[in-house]
């Protein structure tokens, strides 16, 4: 069985590779990373835009496979937070006809980083670099800002796995 993933980001690919081993009906699948577009902004700024990005990645990667996965992180509006926004990861699984969605937990990005994303249009990695949280220009392909602000207690890999697990609820046989 072949499963495509609409990214070549090593964190997202490894998260999927690790998770599918937990599912008997998927454990032997070959994971094929595909360089596809999300067709949304580099830094989604709403839950709707993030879902559209994940969905587009999944659909754009669907070719010669049983399932394709799209994973996209972005901001969403959350009342009573300091900035009014939190980051969430969305996983979309596409089977050629139906879409299956899952979300991760959400977390509030430091205000200085959020300001740079909203006011200056930067993506999270560039905003984290400019705000002084990291010097790694490939932060989004490493521990992620979530890994830095939680001091490794929650990594980008683990955060991504949450969204994959919740999307897999829909295709896990009873």
- Give percent of the chain above pLDDT 70: 99
Q: Quick check: 146 and 156 in contact, CB under 8 A?
A: yes
CA distance 86 to 162: 16
Look at residue 172 in the predicted model and tell me its pLDDT: 80
* pLDDT one-digit tens code per residue, 73-106: 999 999 999 999 999 999 999 999 999 999 999 9
Q: What is the dihedral of CA 24, 30, 31, 36, to 10 degrees?
A: -130
pTM for this structure?
Answer: 0.94
* Exposure on the CB side of residue 43, measured as CA atoms within 13 A: 20
Give me 32's structure tokens: 């094929």
- Phi and psi angles of residue 70, each rounded to the nearest 5 degrees, phi first: -125, 130
Convert the pLDDT of each residue in 23-49 to its tens digit: 999 999 999 999 999 999 999 999 999
Alpha helices in the chain (DSSP H): 10-20, 47-61, 111-120, 124-131, 144-149, 156-168
Arithmetic mean of pLDDT over the chain? 95
Q: What is the pLDDT of residue 143?
A: 86
The terminus-to-terminus CA distance of the chain in angstroms comes to 20
Give DSSP secondary structure letters for 116-137.
HHHHH---HHHHHHHHTS---T
Q: Per CATH, the architecture of 2-105+155-171 is what?
A: Alpha-Beta Complex (3.90)
Contact criterion met (CB below 8 Å) for 160 and 5: no
Q: How far apart are CA 16 and CA 32, in angstroms?
A: 11
């Amino acid at each position: 069985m072949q499963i495509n993933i609409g990214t070549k980001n090593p964190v997202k690919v490894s998260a999927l590779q690790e998770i599918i081993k937990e599912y008997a009906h998927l454990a032997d699948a070959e994971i094929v990373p595909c360089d596809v577009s999300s067709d949304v902004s580099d830094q989604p700024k709403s839950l709707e835009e993030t879902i559209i990005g994940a969905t587009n990645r999944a659909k754009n990667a669907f070719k010669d496979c049983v399932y394709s996965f799209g994973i996209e992180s972005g901001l969403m509006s959350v009342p009573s937070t300091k900035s009014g926004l939190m980051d969430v990861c969305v996983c979309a699984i596409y089977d050629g006809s139906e879409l299956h969605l899952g979300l991760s937990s959400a977390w509030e990005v430091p205000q200085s980083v959020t300001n740079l994303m909203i006011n200056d249009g930067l993506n999270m990695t560039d905003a984290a670099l400019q705000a002084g949280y990291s010097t790694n220009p490939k932060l989004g392909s490493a521990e992620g800002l979530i890994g830095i602000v939680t001091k490794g207690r929650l990594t980008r890999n683990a955060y991504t796995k949450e969204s994959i697990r919740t999307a897999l609820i829909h295709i896990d046989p009873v």
